[in-house]
Amino acid sequence: MTTYKYKARTADGVLVTGVVEAYSEFEAVEQIKRSCAIVEKITEVKNSDKKHFDINEPLWVEDKTLALTASQFSIMLRAGISIGRVVELIAAQTSDRLMKRILTDCAADVNAGYSLAHSLEKNGKKIPAAFIETVRAGEESGTLEICFDRLQKYYEKAYKVKKKVRSALTYPAVVILLSFVVVGIVMVVLVPTMIDLYGNMGQDLPFITRILIAVSDFFVGYWPFLLVGIAVIVIAYKVYYKTPNGELNVDKIKLKIPVIGKIGIMNSASQFANTVSTLLTAGLPASRVLSIVSRVVDNRAVGTTLEQAVVDLESGKNFGSVLKDNPYLPEMLVEMVSVGEESGSLEETMDTIGTYYDEEAVAASDKALGMLEPLLTIFLGVFVGFILLAVYLPMFNMYGGIAAS
């Protein structure tokens, strides 16, 4: 239920303030009018997420949990169990804390006669728009169990693709992090010890050794400022990225980065095709589908271009033509949209092309890893060689001087 704060007057003209819980503003007004003749003002009290704070609760529902939940809904609805009872049973069974809380709230709404989509919409930032809109379409068309079956396949596929991409990118990320740690330890711990050793020898040091010592002195003397500087950059980036223009500009840059940009484009194409297929199968009109897809894709730059295409689609243009000049969608995807639309099999075409781009996203990630591994190896080799030369060259010079004398 939603909490509403109100100001009203009784039949005697006495001003009354208070709060009331209801499923809609209309219902809240009806409750208030049972004791007050005139409702002067009513506002929704925004629920603060802080009261739901749980350190073990996810920030959003993962694809794996959505797939499992959709599967449970499909099975129970096919068994003839009422929707209200199904929500209660799944809420009791799920181990995901966030999904349990959401479904527990939904159970009260559904049993009171409200739609499941309406209740899920209150958690719109936690539940994907594609999930909510597909449920809504299923409720409106009377094919809810079929829509949940489709959602189960959609989110199961999305989970597997994301898992493969993350797995491919985890190794280089760990190697890069460890490289920075090793460089820091060498510069702050090892090199100062070496400086003390060579300082007692009283000889001129080679140029490469002096460079290493200068870099080490910088790290030792300014490491607190380096950490603060890094923290400031990270915080500034996050603050800027949260602004509408910031997110749009950063995501545009991401798509232009060699190799990384291709991963983003393939991932967006995969999300586009799979989401379009799922929503069209659920019975949603094309303009509504494109509007939802614009909010589902991870990259804001891609989403913005799709939002702009919605207006053209609503004006009567066909699906393929409004995507023709999109700078971020692959040409083959746009062509397949046109082919599917002309043949009347857009849902099946998008399902097929979605699987293709799933594989392309994974392949692009593997390619990025294949290019990054030798670069990391070369960097580490050059760094280790530089350290060894800087450390041992003074020793060689000293032994050479002793031998000459």
Let me know: does 322 contact 313? Beta carbons within 8 Å. Answer: yes
For the beta sheet containing 38-44, the strands, ordered from the edge strand earlier in sequence to the opposite edge, are 15-22, 2-9, 38-44
Written as six digits, the tokens of 385 are 């060689």
* Bridge partners, 344 (sequence order): none
Cβ partners under 8 Å of residue 170, min gap 6: none
CA dihedral 47, 50, 52, 54 (to 10 degrees): 160
In Å, how far from its chain's centre is CA 272? 15
Return the DSSP state at 309: H
pLDDT at 239: 92
Let me know: does 18 contact 40? Beta carbons within 8 Å. Answer: no
Cβ partners under 8 Å of residue 13, min gap 6: none
Q: Give the largest CA-CA distance in the chain.
A: 115
pLDDT along the chain (405 residues), means of 10: 80 82 77 85 66 58 90 92 91 88 86 84 77 86 87 86 75 76 75 68 74 80 86 93 88 87 88 88 86 87 90 87 89 91 90 89 80 80 82 72 57
Where is 15: in which H helix or E strand?
strand 15-22
Give domain limits for the chain: 2-46, 63-157, 163-405
pLDDT at 36: 86
Return the DSSP state at 52: G
DSSP reduced 3-state for 95? coil
Written as six digits, the tokens of 374 are 């030798």
Written as six digits, the tokens of 37 are 């003749």
Question: What is the rounded distance in angstroms from the CA atom of residue 335 to the CA atom of residue 402?
Answer: 77
Where is 369: in which H helix or E strand?
helix 346-404
Between 3.40.190.10, 1.10.3720.10, 3.10.450.40, 1.20.81.30, what CATH number should domain 163-405 receive? 1.20.81.30
In Å, how far from its chain's centre is CA 18? 40
CA dihedral 379, 381, 383, 389 (to 10 degrees): -150
The phi-psi region of residue 213 (left if phi > 0; otherwise alpha if psi is between -120 and 50; otherwise beta) is: alpha
Q: Do domains 63-157 and 163-405 have the same CATH topology?
A: yes
**Token pair 């297929």 is at which residue?**
277
The phi-psi region of residue 113 (left if phi > 0; otherwise alpha if psi is between -120 and 50; otherwise beta) is: left
- Count other Cβ atoms within 10 Å, centred on residue 235: 10
CATH topology of domain 63-157: Receptor-associated Protein (1.20.81)
Question: What is the rounded distance in angstroms from the CA atom of residue 309 to the CA atom of residue 301?
Answer: 13
pTM of the model: 0.69
